[in-house]
Structure 1
């Protein structure tokens, strides 16, 4: 009797709408979310966080390797990009959050702090946007302790960005970091800005495109 009822129920389903195509509704899996919430702990204690502990976390290097795959040729004899990030944060300065969404770690190359690095992460999306920015001294120009010494700002992103319309939150954080005086009170003069796509394609952009406003003296030295 039970099997008869099951057969009748199946027959009823097939005869409700003769000729209509069968519709099967499958539950779609939600896209996987990359959980990087472990980063937030390193923004404490405020206001400068714990950069040394961040660099010691075994999860950091794999994170960088997963997101930052572009080749880099500006520093370290062809060192890969994740190792370059670690080097440019090697002497930590700060680890902070911006608006409970953006994670920002800054530091400089150990023994040569004029070359500085910033790791900026937008944690709001399912697949976060990672950006590494680095200031690289133009060695053929003036020494770093002289006013007017020039630098190139390199910007590597985990996905291609429109050079003409960079995220406002990114430029809002890069500009004051670049223009923060060094220990000897000099301000780095950014003469060039190069945005690099994940496939290594470079884009020459202007300092103003990343929010850097140069003084009249700096423009004269460009």
Structure 2
């Protein structure tokens, strides 16, 4: 078991990064010898609570917590760092439908990894939602939600749907049982990708 300690500005809610990143690990603060740090996705324990929800992944633990309040229809997890978005971290959730929201300017890197994971059987999709917004690099989903609430203009995140998902959505309006069929039999589209049905 491990603990991560971070300093946040009480006024802005953003992490303090000046004059340096204020991130520390509990085992270092306690000077535990021979401690072996093995990170997992922040929120990984939540998969024990539900198998019916899709999983949404962001970089920051703070963002995962906040988004779990804004959009509770997903199980929200965080990598805890942009470099932690990798196969090893995602292996425990391979059987789930996964949607990832990289911070602004990270889409290209995360999408490349997501496409590789799809080839290995992951049902994963990388959202370009933040990348398409005119916001500073490093902006994350929680920043966009908080800004919209401050301006009394709530944001609705539109996930990118494939042609198959658009057709499934249309058919589900006629017969909602199609969603149960897709979930029950873990159906794939013509390109052997998972079909997101949230």
The TM-score, its normalising length taken from structure 1, stands at: 0.29
Task: Report the TM-score, using the length of structure 2 for normalisation.
Answer: 0.32
Higher helix share: 2
Please tell me whether Structure 1 or Structure 2 has the larger radius of gyration of its CA atoms: 1
